[in-house]
A and B are shown apart, each in its own frame.
Chain A
Amino acid sequence: NAGVTQTPKFQVLKTGQSMTLQCAQDMNHNSMYWYRQDPGMGLRLIYYSASEGTTDKGEVPNGYNVSRLNKREFSLRLESAAPSQTSVYFCASRGTGDYNEQFFGPGTRLTVL
């Protein structure tokens, strides 16, 4: 039981390049989330998916797209990376119920030069 996995762990991009961050969970959770974390800013919600086939914008969606490929997988795409997108990206999943815990992946450390 791996929980939430993310790939890659580290990535360096040049401005304008594109890439997709992958996330998968094996806990049969309906909800999945993408956050970014910058120093002093805490985690900011980029997008979330309440269930397979649905996605919604969070606090900071500009510059990102997401795909809920199936119940297990939720990917985050940067179409044209910018230095302002240098951050640590966390994926999370959660089961149904108000007080269900969010489980996080180990994060992807992205640097855009």
Chain B
Amino acid sequence: RKEVEQDPGPFNVPEGATVAFNCTYSNSASQSFFWYRQDCRKEPKLLMSVYSSGNEDGRFTAQLNRASQYISLLIRDSKLSDSATYLCVVRDGGFKTIFGAGTRLFVKA
């Protein structure tokens, strides 16, 4: 079983739609959690960190459920520019950082 598993993609949504991505992790000792965004043939870049209480950044909302070992990302009012691959990232209490396989999002006009 992979340490970090994500929804298989791709997600195809119209502009303005709300879309949700899910991610589960297997290491109960994991301490910090993130969503990264990766554009085609580019390096990943941090989208947002995920805190225990949940957090929001504009149209993006991230949730963490430690009991179920589950992370989610909600994108509201999708834009064409949101088309990318979204990577769920989990870090243990030290330095080991593991990425999920990613979920591809296509937003169409």
Contacts and interface: CB of A to CB of B under 8 A. Distances in A.
A90 B46 contact: no
A35 B87 CA distance: 14
Interface stretch (B11-19, B65-73, B91-99): B91-99
B44 interface: yes
B43 A107 contact: yes
Interface residues of A, number: 24
Interface of B: 3, 6, 31-32, 34, 42-46, 49, 87, 89, 91, 93-102
Given A98-B91, A99-B32, A99-B49, A45 B98 contact: yes
B32 to A, nearest CB: 4
A94 B96 CA distance: 11
Contacts of A40: 101
Interface string A40-52: 1111110010100
Nearest to B102: A42
A26 interface: no
